[in-house]
């Protein structure tokens, strides 16, 4: 608290002579003018209200609604409480649920094991200032600029069974989007294509910030390129690595647009987010059931958020 007076100290109202006898705590408060106090209160209150109103209340409402069978019609007083029935239904009689969980995990694994390392690899290559590196950089980053919905459309032109580019080039008749054993991989290629560019740019920015003298020192000590990267550069980039990790997890949890554009998340492309949308949004209005799915998604996200926060806080304490 001792640094509080530093805030616009020059404009603070000087304490009137009469109050000099009051306690020190009061005096310190008085150092902030009334306007300052109003401003600070507003700056705390407004964002708090926004966060509570737009994040916490809807989240809480989702959890509450997941215990009902509301169909979106009629007043709240007519909502029937059905307890855990929706969860029971989700797990036991809703066939798309298990594939959705599997696909979300597969998505995470594919981005984590393939796309992210590949993006980092490209960043390292581009950091070498190859000829035309600007061009490669732009080309690789381009997919990130396009919306996932547009990407879905672009790949549809490539993957279409009867009229697509891929089958025309290969002379095959593979049903890239329709065959449930194939389509998730086809979509992962499309999603990865975009993810690689994103990670590449993030990582490249980090690499540019690494002190060149570290590399020089490593080179003088006779370290090879690879061991310089893994033993010197990679550990120095720890903050960026964490960001990349978090971005990868977020991207795989919120994966939605691509599968929705392709076939509304059905037939092999089930994802939790798509199931939530299919049930809640639109004419279907299975609000209670969809909320149960959304709550499950919230719990899954919380696991990752907790892990992340725990790591970051441990960092901060160190």
Partner 1 sequence: MSRPRSQADYLARLVPPSVAGLNRRSLLAGAAGAGALLGTGLLAGCGSDSDSGGGSKTVSVGSNASDPTPKDVLAKLAAGFQSSSGVQVNINTVDHNTFQENINNYLQGKPDDVFTWFAGYRMRFFAAKGLTGDVSDVWGKLTGFSDAFKKASTGDDGKQYFVPASYYPWAVFYRKSVWQQHGYQVPTTLDDLTTLAGQMKKDGLIPIAFADKDGWPAMGTFDILNLRINGYQFHVDLMAGKEAWTSDKVKKVFDTWAGLLPLHQPDALGRTWQEAAQSLQQKKSGMYLLGLFVAQQFNDNEQDDIDFFTFPEIDSTIGAKALDAPIDGYMMARKPKSEANAKKLLDYIGGVDAANIMVKGDPGTLVANSGGDTSGYTALKKKAAELVGSATEIAQFLDRDTRPDFASTVIIPAFQQFIKNPKDISGLLTSIENQKKSIFTS
DSSP category for residue 83: T
Contact between 73 and partner 1 by CB under 8 A: the answer reads yes
Nearest in space to 264 (alpha carbons), one of 247, 283, 251, 250: 283
Q: Which CB sits closer to partner 1, 232 or 297?
A: 297
Q: Are 299 and 288 in contact (CB under 8 A)?
A: no
- Interface with partner 1 includes 152 (CB under 8 A)? no
- Cβ of 177: how many Cβ atoms within 10 Å? 22
The only residue of 62, 65, 67, 96 in contact with partner 1, by rule CB under 8 A: 96
Stretch that binds partner 1, among 30-38, 52-60, 74-82, 117-125 (CB under 8 A): 74-82
Judged by beta carbon, residue 72 or residue 209, the one nearer partner 1 is 72
DSSP 55: I
Is residue 196 within 8 Å of 115, Cβ to Cβ?
A: yes
Which of 87, 94, 136, 304 lies at the binding interface for partner 1 (CB under 8 A)?
Answer: 94
Instruction: Name the residue nearer to partner 1 (CB basis): 72 or 239.
Output: 72
Q: What is the number of alpha carbons within 13 Å of residue 25 lying toward its C-beta?
A: 0
Applying CB under 8 A, among 93, 220, 226, 303 the residue interacting with partner 1 is 93
Report, in Å, the least distance between residue 266 CB and partner 1.
5
Tell me how far, at minimum, the Cβ of 267 lies from partner 1, in Å: 5
Count of residues interacting with partner 1 (CB under 8 A): 41
Cα four-point dihedral sign 29, 33, 34, 35: negative
* Structure-token match 């939790």, residue found: 272
Give whichever of 36 and 179 is closer to partner 1, judged by the CB atom. Answer: 179
Q: Residues 263, 264, 268, CA angle at the centre, nearest 5°?
A: 65
Footprint (CB under 8 A) of partner 1, residues 123-142: none
Quick one: which of 27, 30, 161, 215 contacts partner 1 (CB under 8 A)? 161
Helix extents (H) in the chain? 24-30, 34-51, 57-65, 85-93, 97-110, 116-127, 133-145, 148-159, 165-170, 183-208, 212-220, 225-228, 234-236, 238-253, 257-263, 272-280, 287-317
Mask for 242-271, x = binds partner 1 (CB under 8 A): ---------------------xx-xx----
Interaction of residue 158 with partner 1, rule CB under 8 A: no
61 vs 80: CA distance, rounded Å: 15
Q: How far is the CB of 25 from partner 1 (least distance, A)?
A: 30
Name the residue nearer to partner 1 (CB basis): 89 or 127: 89
Q: What's the min distance (Å) between Cβ of 77 and partner 1?
A: 14
At closest approach, how far in Å is the CB of 297 from partner 1?
Answer: 16
CA 107/CA 255 separation, integer angstroms: 8
Q: Which of residues 167-206 bind partner 1 (CB under 8 A)?
A: 173, 175-180, 183
CB 278 within 8 A of CB 259: no
Residues that bind partner 1 (CB under 8 A): 69, 71-74, 80, 82, 85, 89, 92-96, 159-163, 173, 175-180, 183, 263-264, 266-267, 278-279, 281-286, 288-289
């Amino acid at each position: 608290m001792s640094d509080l007076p530093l805030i616009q100290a020059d404009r603070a109202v000087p304490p009137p002579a009469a109050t000099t006898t009051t306690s020190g705590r009061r005096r310190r408060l008085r150092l902030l003018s009334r306007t300052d106090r109003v401003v600070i209160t507003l700056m705390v209150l407004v964002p708090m209200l926004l966060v509570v109103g737009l994040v916490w209340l809807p989240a809480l409402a989702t959890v509450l609604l997941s215990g009902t069978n509301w169909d979106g019609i009629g007043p709240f007083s007519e909502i029937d409480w059905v307890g855990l029935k929706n969860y029971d239904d989700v797990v036991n009689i809703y066939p798309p649920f298990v594939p959705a969980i599997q696909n979300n995990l597969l998505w995470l694994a594919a981005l984590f094991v393939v796309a992210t390392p590949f993006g980092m690899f490209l960043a390292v290559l581009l950091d070498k200032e190859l000829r035309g590196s600007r061009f490669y950089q732009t080309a690789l980053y381009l997919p990130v600029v396009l919306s996932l919905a547009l990407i879905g459309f672009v790949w549809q032109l490539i993957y279409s069974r009867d009229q697509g580019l891929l089958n025309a080039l290969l002379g095959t008749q593979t049903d890239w989007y329709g065959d449930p054993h194939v389509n998730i991989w086809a979509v992962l290629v499309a999603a990865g294509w975009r993810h690689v560019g994103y990670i590449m740019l993030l990582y490249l920015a980090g690499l540019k910030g690494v002190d060149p003298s570290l590399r020089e020192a490593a080179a003088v000590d006779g370290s090879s390129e690879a061991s310089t990267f893994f033993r010197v550069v990679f550990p120095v980039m720890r903050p960026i690595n964490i960001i990349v990790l978090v971005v990868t997890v977020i991207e795989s949890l919120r994966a939605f647009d691509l599968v929705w554009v392709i076939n509304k998340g059905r037939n092999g492309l089930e994802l939790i987010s798509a199931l939530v949308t299919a049930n809640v949004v639109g004419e279907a209005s299975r609000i209670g059931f969809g909320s149960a799915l959304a709550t499950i998604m919230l719990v899954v996200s919380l696991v990752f958020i907790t892990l992340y926060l725990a790591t970051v806080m441990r960092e901060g304490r160190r």
